[in-house]
Structure 1
Amino acid sequence: MPNPFNQNIIDEFRAHHGRMSGHFEGARLVLLTTTGARTGTPHTTPVGCLADGGERILVIASAGGSPRHPDWYRNLLARPEATVESGVFTYRARAEVLTGEERDRAFARAVEADPGWQAYQEKAGGRVIPVVALHRIAQGGPPEIAADSPGEAMRLVHDMFRRELALIRKETAAGDGAMLGAQLRVNCLTLCAGLHNHHTGEGTALFPFLAGRHPHLAPVLERLEREHVRIADLVEQLRRVVSGERADPAAARAEVDRLTAALEAHLAYEEEQLLPVLGG
């Protein structure tokens, strides 16, 4: 059983699908369920995470700067698999402890995004704080979403994109350097990949299903497909802007704003037209 502080975070995280209030508002968190190294029982812990592109995220075993590794990290050393809850998706992941230069680069990105990680390292009494990559384990079928209907699942995924865009806009607005931060570049590229995957899934599965069941939606689906093409163009422009080592923050802000405006309009229209037939 988690301590009362962690349990309150877990309860709020699950109740609001990852949307947090108070001190953790806007934080990138996941719930990590590991298997006890000694007991073999499951243990769930809220941990901060970093996007890392592709099919993995990074979690940092800071333990608040304790000189002792957190229990969840020791559990992963014994059994390097875990369940990850993102607030929307739940999936199994394989854990890999990063070492050497790869660990150092990842930790430097974390510090760049939040200097609090460096403060934890300085408190840790000589313990080098580990960075763990969690690789999503591929599985057949649709992703597991904590939703009671296809419509609710759509709304939750849309809200996830809205939150991430809001965070990225806040981060780009706060940047005052001549170059875009390394972690912010990864956040943008991860968002780009997520949007591409989501729209590809809609185009190949959801929209054909709806077309067969609800022929009157044909004009709506055609418009949504056209908007997918437009958003894909904006995603590619953002990708080009942030991919360079000397990415310009002002250019990134402009592209994020353009993508946000187009995507928010698209999501609102899709929900207006499709939620009545999908439920939720």
Structure 2
Amino acid sequence: MPIDFNQPVIEEFRANKGRVGGYFEGARLLLLTTTGARTGRPHTTPLGYLPDGGDRVLVIASAAGAPRHPAWFHNLLAHPQVTVESGAFTYEARAVVLEGEERDRAFARAVEAEPGWAEYQAKTTRVLPVIALHEIVPDGPPNINASSMGEAIKVVHDAFRRELALIRAEMNDAGGKAGTGGSALGAQLRVNCLTFCAGLHNHHTGEDLAMFPFLAERHPELAPALARLRDEHERIAELVEDLRRVVGDENADPDTARREVERLTEELEAHLTYEEEQLIPLLDAR
């Protein structure tokens, strides 16, 4: 029986809610489950991905520059509905292969952010496909990979922490390049920032409209904590808007953007920690 080298990565990813070590450590990683083109059986593959704003992410069928497309690409051509695991969430998605200029722009962004993609392309005569995974939004609440409401808060918060840590590292790298002659943020880094800002805004809006009223009704003693958390949401929203304004400029100064990210990081970490301290023990009380 052949050894599946992906299986330990898949198991580690699921056990640690998206955190892995080894080759994928520090990378944006998801698990993509496709339906076999010939067998009809599910197949799960760990893949690096690119944020792309809104309800979609991008993956590249590089196969490390192999002469043939990977099996998962043939599977999604036959069955475009796929399952995506992000660590915090599991959701259904519709796979769309990008064509023409849209594909070329997306691939150029990827290469600018990580030159390894260009190295893979140089190893093969095939054009590496770029695929957009469009989330199919469910009617009900999102499927969070957690066994309790308290754990769900921690899982989602940790996903924001991981992404912000990646952006900070990318910002620091961009700042260094600026000091050696670079003058603007890379296009993919700007997309990463804007996607993070949108996700954080949506998360806090959901808390304000759903979770906090739910808790206020059942636990009146939480009123002071919830009031503080709402106030912090407003402050963080201001910082998010400041960051959006900076990185929305194609000629954004990397050092200015880095300072905005650091301001947001400091306030957001304090907010997440306080929310966990106040809400998780209550939500997970037996």
- 2:220 partner letter: P
Instruction: Assess if the C-alpha contact under 8 Å between 1:98 and 1:133 holds in 2.
Output: yes
Alignment of 1:199-278 (within 5 A): 199-278=204-283
CA distance in 1 between partners of 2:184 and 2:220 (Å): 49
Which whole-Å deviations, capped at 9, do the CAs of 1:4-39 have from their partners, x for residues lacking one? 311111011111111111221110011000001111
Distance 1:35 1:3, change over 3 A: farther
- 1:148 partner letter: S
Residue 108 (structure 1) aligned with residue 113 (structure 2): no
How far apart are residue 66 of structure 1 and its match? 0.3
Which whole-Å deviations, capped at 9, do the CAs of 1:155-189 have from their partners, x for residues lacking one? 00000011111100000101112100100000000
Alignment gaps of 5+ in structure 1: none
CA distance in 1 between partners of 2:133 and 2:71 (Å): 16
CA distance in 2 between partners of 1:2 and 1:71 (Å): 16
Partner residue in 2 for 1:7: 7
* Identity across the alignment (%): 70
- 1:200 partner letter: T
Distance 1:216 1:2, change over 3 A: farther
Give TM-score scaled by structure 1 length: 0.98
More displaced 10-residue stretch of structure 1: 20-29 or 189-198: 20-29
Distance 1:230 1:6, change over 3 A: same
How far apart are residue 146 of structure 1 and its match? 1.3
- 2:69 partner letter: H
Structure 1 residue corresponding to 2:189, chosen from 184, 191, 210: 184
Secondary structure class of the residue paired with 1:17:
coil
- Count residues in correspondence: 279
Instruction: Assess if the C-alpha contact under 8 Å between 1:30 and 1:85 holds in 2.
Output: yes
Instruction: Assess if the C-alpha contact under 8 Å between 1:80 and 1:94 holds in 2.
Output: yes
Partner residue in 2 for 1:21: 21
Distance 1:114 1:69, change over 3 A: same
Which whole-Å deviations, capped at 9, do the CAs of 1:93-148 have from their partners, x for residues lacking one? 00110011110110011111111111100112x10000000000011111001111
Secondary structure class of the residue paired with 2:5:
helix
Partner residue in 2 for 1:138: 137
Alignment gaps of 5+ in structure 2: none
How far apart are residue 266 of structure 1 and its match? 0.2
Instruction: Assess if the C-alpha contact under 8 Å between 1:2 and 1:45 holds in 2.
Output: no
Residue 93 (structure 1) aligned with residue 90 (structure 2): no
How far apart are residue 258 of structure 1 and its match? 0.3
CA distance in 2 between partners of 1:88 and 1:73 (Å): 24
Give structure 1 regions of 4+ aligned residues with deviation exceeding 3 angstroms. Answer: none
CA distance in 2 between partners of 1:2 and 1:24 (Å): 22
CA distance in 1 between partners of 2:130 and 2:4 (Å): 26
Instruction: Assess if the C-alpha contact under 8 Å between 1:2 and 1:43 holds in 2.
Output: no
How far apart are residue 3 of structure 1 and its match? 4.5
Which whole-Å deviations, capped at 9, do the CAs of 1:190-223 have from their partners, x for residues lacking one? 0000100100010011000110111010000000
